[in-house]
Structure 1
Amino acid sequence: MKTIKLFLASSAELKADRLAFEVFINRKNKEWVARGVFLELVIWEDFFDAMSQARLQDEYNLAIRDCDLFVMLFWTKVGRYTQEEFETAFGRFQATHRPFIFTYFKDAPISTGSAKKQDLQSLWAFQEKLDALGHFYTRFETSDGLHLHFSRQLDKLAANGFITFEPERDTADGTYQATQSGSGAVAQGPGATALGKGAVNIGSTHTSTINTGTQVNTGGSA
């Protein structure tokens, strides 16, 4: 089983979208686990909140450096911790070409009465930063739209060889099946070798007669 680690970063205001994304990954795993790939979603809710010698954010950053994919969601603001997580992922990508980074901006109505100037300024500053880096974020309006787009990105990673699946089997119990029509050879299972009609495969010393087809004994005459 190959494990692909995916870190999800976002502010608390997108809690509902985070939960929906977790459900989406679980559903994706139902399809991919059977093909030998498991998507391990890493979210800050799973970390232990007890006091430690280092910042808890340092634990998040360490997890990001160990991930294959980094997904960031933002809406009306980009908090300093979320921005720190992006910078950690981007710095790691520049050094090792991993994790692959995906940023999604939720383009949805907000209440202007509750919007804070400082929050909006952090949003605009981060968007300008992405533009300066040449990184293009993707807009989404609903969780379904987000899931559809990211699912297609996962499929592209698989098509490009970043994600590799195990060879598909015909039955769930690990056996192989094949149907043969007419004469010819059939090979089943990993490493199997098919021999054509009339062929002989000798794996050890052989001294007796080998008959590969119809044989006529003429007793020495023509």
Structure 2
Amino acid sequence: MPHTIKIFLASSAELKADREKFEQFIGRKNKTLNQNGCFIELVIWEDFIDAMSRKRLQGEYNKVVQTCDIFVMLFATKVGRYTREEFEAAFGQFQESGKPWIYTFFKTAAVKISQIPREDMLSLYDFQDRLNALGHFWKEYENSDDLI
């Protein structure tokens, strides 16, 4: 039975193409890793059923985040409420158990600032401040090729 590494990939809907490229990359890597007794299980929010849940569906995402080995976050023009909540779940679990390892990436692609709501830009700056205060290093990426 292969050793499984579970990765949760979090981002807002605006980065769908980057998530898909990341998913393709993991799929290709798994072909080689599987031969060596390893498998990467990638979890993304699109994999969850949008059906009614007895509890909040976001709560289900957060539970899965806490079971992962690695938590990867992608941001572009905003830090959404749910992605921030997933980070808090991952960070809380990391403080308790040392996992998941948390990797944070901010996309640097050119955007028209006038088309981005002020609250969205502030959410980015506030979140970067939070990461800096925690001593968490984040990285910038230009495009999906740069990410993987």
- TM-score, length-scaled by structure 1: 0.65
Q: Which residue of 2 aligns with 1:98?
A: 99
Matched residue of 1:113: which SS? helix
Return the letter of the residue paired with 1:78.
Answer: V
User: Cα deviation per residue 1:20-54 (whole Å; 9 max; x = unaligned)?
Assistant: 11001101111101000000000110111111110
Gaps of at least 5 residues in structure 1 are 148-222
Other-structure match for 2:18: 17
Measure, in 1, the Cα distance between the counterparts of 2:128 and 2:66.
Answer: 23
d(CA) in 2 for partners of 1:13, 1:133: 26
Q: Any unmatched runs of 5+ in structure 2?
A: none
Offset of 1:112 from its aligned partner?
2.2
Give 2:79's aligned residue: 78
Q: Which residue of 2 aligns with 1:190?
A: none
- The aligned residue for residue 157 of structure 1 is none
C-alpha distance in 2, partners of 1:88/1:95?
11
2: CA distance, partners of 1:11 / 1:75: 9
Residue of structure 2 equivalent to 1:5: 6
> What is the CA-CA distance between 1:113 and the residue it aligns to?
2.9
- Name the CA distance, whole Å, in 2 between partners of 1:72 and 1:57: 16
Structure showing greater relative contact order (alpha-carbon pairs closer than 8 Å, 6 or more residues apart): 2
TM-score normalized by structure 2? 0.97
- 1: CA distance, partners of 2:46 / 2:88: 20
Mapped to 2, the partners of 1:114 and 1:30 lie a distance apart of 41
- What is the CA deviation profile of residues 39-74 of structure 1, one whole-angstrom value per residue up to 9, with x for unaligned ones? 000011011111111000011001011110000000
Q: Output one character per residue of 1:169-195: Cα deviation in whole Å (capped at 9) or x when no partner.
A: xxxxxxxxxxxxxxxxxxxxxxxxxxx
Residues of 1 paired with 2:123 and 2:3: CA distance? 38
State how far apart, in whole Å, the 2-side matches of 1:115 and 1:66 are. Answer: 34
Root-mean-square deviation over aligned CA pairs: 0.7
Equivalence for 1:34: 35
Partner of 1:44: 45
Query: Percent identical across equivalent pairs?
Result: 59
The structure in which a higher percent of residues are strand is 2
The equivalent residue for 2:138 is 137
Q: How does 1:102-113 map to 2 (within 5 A)?
A: 102-113=103-114
Structure ranking higher in helix proportion: 2
Count of residue correspondences: 147
Q: How does 1:186-197 map to 2 (within 5 A)?
A: none
Per-residue displacement from partner, 1:108-165 (whole Å, max 9, x unpaired)? 1001231110100101100100010000101110111110xxxxxxxxxxxxxxxxxx
1:194 corresponds to: none
